Amino acid sequence: MSAHQFAQYLIDGLTQGSIYALVGLGFTIIYAVTRIINFAQGEFVMLGGTLSYVFAVTSGLPMPLAIIVAILVAAATGVVMYLLAIRTARRASVLSLIIITIGASIFIRGIAGNRLGVGAVQPPHFTGNTTILFLGAKIDPQELWIIGITLSVTILLHLFLTYTMAGKSLKACAINPEAASLVGINTKTTALTAFILAAAIGGIGGVAVAPLSFASYDMGAMLGLKGFVAASIGGFMSPIATVVGGLILGVVEKLAVGLSWGPFNSSYKDAIALVVLLLILLIRSGRLAAEERSA
């Protein structure tokens, strides 16, 4: 593998991994605060992607405005989903709530397929599609946007959680919900904040990836699966670990393609990625167990 090939695989992998990371972040935020695994997370990505096309191309809004509106609609869907489906069933068990999110995802997908059509759409690139030469790798400018957006979202999220009252409340609820409510944190509001954040981040992911790889009403399920894996590497608790997990997953997948030789071809890329994942999880669980013993 030559240097420029390696650069190509690396950047391709970081792009792919960024999407996994953004989806994973949504899982982590909602799980940490509410203990719910939100299986509708991929649908927020789908909404961001398909709606940015609808607003930019069908309605003819300027691209930046179309992007913002698409993200807002995705976030609003998160709010509606929380208020209608989750809060009204708050006395139900966590398992029931998780099943409700599966129902919500089927509902959102159905509406999208019905209203927006079942074909694949591609919104325009943010800044054209002239190939950029970087370290010998040929890159679509959108790939840099995706990686850049993911890094920005991660940093902003970190700042939000560390330095704002709302962010600190989220963290407090994640660590101990009962103690948090005892010191006067409104757990319902934090849960709503978590859904808004997760839906908006999903929407941002969809907006960023759609110009590169199309958006369609059924894209959410598959992305949700990979994002779930990224979140499980992060233990569903740490946003930073989730992002790192997503990036590792993406890069390993793409490098596995690059290493393909003879019968050992790219059909094994998912298998290789899963083996790496299992190793990471084994090491993590070993370390967690050790921490528990020492505690």
Partner 1 sequence: MRKYLKLSLFVLMTVALVSTCAIGCGGSKETATKEPYVIGAIFSTSGVSASLGVSEANTVNMLVDKINKAGGINGHNLSVIIRDDGSLPDTTATLATTLIEQDQVLVIIGPTTTGETTAIMNISTDAEIPLVSCAAGAAIINPVKYWIFKTPQTDKQAVVEIYRYLQSQNISKVAIITSTSGFGTSGKGYLESEAATYGITLVDNQRFDSTDTSMTSQLTHIQGTDAQVVVCWDTDKASAIVAQNMKTLSMSIPLYCSHGIATPAFITEAGDAANGIIFPAGKLLIVDNISASDLQKTVLTDYKNDYLAKYDASTLSTFGGHAYDALYLVVGALENMNEDLTLAESRAAIRDGLEQTTNFIGISGIFTMSPTDHLGMQPGSLALIEIVNGAWTPVQ
> Which residues here bind partner 1, judged by CB under 8 A?
2, 5, 8-9, 12-13, 15-16, 19, 113, 118-120, 122, 129, 131, 138-140, 143, 146, 209, 212-214, 216, 218-219, 222-223, 225-226, 254, 257-258, 260, 265-267, 269-270
Q: How far is the CB of 7 from partner 1 (least distance, A)?
A: 10
Q: How far is the CB of 90 from partner 1 (least distance, A)?
A: 32
Q: How far is the CB of 147 from partner 1 (least distance, A)?
A: 11
In the bound state with partner 1, the residue whose beta carbon lies nearer, of 19 and 81, is: 19
Q: How far is the CB of 148 from partner 1 (least distance, A)?
A: 15
In the bound state with partner 1, the residue whose beta carbon lies nearer, of 20 and 195, is: 20
In the bound state with partner 1, the residue whose beta carbon lies nearer, of 113 and 235, is: 113
Structure tokens at 33: 């605060």
Structure tokens at 37: 């695994």
Q: Which amino acid is at 53?
A: Y
Distance CA 251, CA 256 (A): 8
In SS3 terms, the chain reads as CCHHHHHHHHHHHHHHHHHHHHHHHHHHHHHHHHCCCCCCHHHHHHHHHHHHHHHHHHCCCCHHHHHHHHHHHHHHHHHHHHHHHHHHHCCCCHHHHHHHHHHHHHHHHHHHHHHHCCCCECCCCECECCCEEECCEEECHHHHHHHHHHHHHHHHHHHHHHHCHHHHHHHHHHHCHHHHHHCCCCHHHHHHHHHHHHHHHHHHHHHHHHHHHCECCCCHHHHHHHHHHHHHHCCCCCHHHHHHHHHHHHHHHHHHHHCCECCECHHHHHHHHHHHHHHHHHHHHHHHHHHHHHC
Residues 240 and 154: beta-carbon distance below 8 Å: yes
Q: How far is the CB of 76 from partner 1 (least distance, A)?
A: 25
In the bound state with partner 1, the residue whose beta carbon lies nearer, of 13 and 167, is: 13
Q: How far is the CB of 52 from partner 1 (least distance, A)?
A: 15
Q: How far is the CB of 42 from partner 1 (least distance, A)?
A: 10
Q: How far is the CB of 22 from partner 1 (least distance, A)?
A: 12
In the bound state with partner 1, the residue whose beta carbon lies nearer, of 19 and 192, is: 19
Structure tokens at 147: 């990686």
In the bound state with partner 1, the residue whose beta carbon lies nearer, of 13 and 245, is: 13
Distance CA 147, CA 281 (A): 25
In the bound state with partner 1, the residue whose beta carbon lies nearer, of 105 and 226, is: 226
In the bound state with partner 1, the residue whose beta carbon lies nearer, of 39 and 82, is: 39
